[in-house]
Amino acid sequence: MCLSIPSKVVKIDKENNMATVDTMGVKRDASLDLMAEDDVKVGDYVLLHIGFIMNKIDEEDAMLSLETYKEIIEAMDEEERQRTILEDDNCVNRGV
């Protein structure tokens, strides 16, 4: 199963249709190509999949999800934590 950690948009590059997002302290670039023009703004919370912003979520839902992820991550060792945060949007669809 693939889960996406909510990420906060901290910067938008309209020229390249990219956003910089913060995922639990890790910043990365994500494509806005799958979103409607001007739908995503700085401060929005979004979900990513393979480098693309797939949808927005409201802040309350994002905060609840982040609290759950923090509890899960606290139970992991440091290497697992980093891998989980860095690779959260690189999930491959697998047959069921």
Asked if residue 91 belongs to a domain, the reply is no
Q: CB–CB of 53/19 below 8 Å?
A: yes
Asked if residue 17 belongs to a domain, the reply is yes
Contacts of 62 (CB under 8 A, 6+ apart): 6, 8, 45
Q: What is the CATH number of the domain that holds 64?
A: 2.30.30.140
Asked if residue 30 belongs to a domain, the reply is yes
pLDDT value at position 94? 43
At 68, which helix (H) or strand (E)? helix 59-74
Domain that holds residue 12: 7-86
Asked if residue 67 belongs to a domain, the reply is yes
Asked if residue 59 belongs to a domain, the reply is yes
Number of structural domains in the chain: 1
Asked if residue 93 belongs to a domain, the reply is no
Asked if residue 48 belongs to a domain, the reply is yes
pLDDT one-digit tens code per residue, 8-67: 999 999 999 999 999 989 999 999 999 999 999 999 999 998 899 999 999 999 999 999
Could you give the C-alpha distances from 45 to 9, 34, 78, 80, in angstroms and in order? 6, 15, 25, 24
Asked if residue 92 belongs to a domain, the reply is no
pLDDT value at position 2? 62
